[in-house]
Structure 1
Amino acid sequence: MGILRDIGAPGLIVIVLGALLIFGPKRLPELGESVGKMLAEFKKAVKGIGEQEEK
């Protein structure tokens, strides 16, 4: 998540506003949920790869 630290608050605001304009207010929560699930799966996969390398 180093990328998010580099963006900062103003950058995140611009990204959220852009997503709001592109997807609309009705689809934004759905999009956020999908991104959250994707990140959770990615973390599980990375953790699984790290555990396999330790064996």
Structure 2
Amino acid sequence: MAALAWLLIPLLAAVGAGVWGTWASRNGKVSGDGSELAGYARFREAMEKSHSGG
């Protein structure tokens, strides 16, 4: 019975990894990158303005 438990541990880990991989690669709303890139562009513009006026 103990051998069966040791065989089920990697099996459950593989099933869990498959479920997580499916969930992680789902085609949902992509958040984060667009707003972060827009914020970085605003930051660069602000830094260029502060250096060009001096």
TM-score (norm 1): 0.48
Q: Larger Cα Rg: Structure 1 or Structure 2? A: 2
Bigger proportion of residues as helix = 1
- Ranked by relative contact order (alpha carbons within 8 Å, sequence separation 6 or more), the top structure is 1
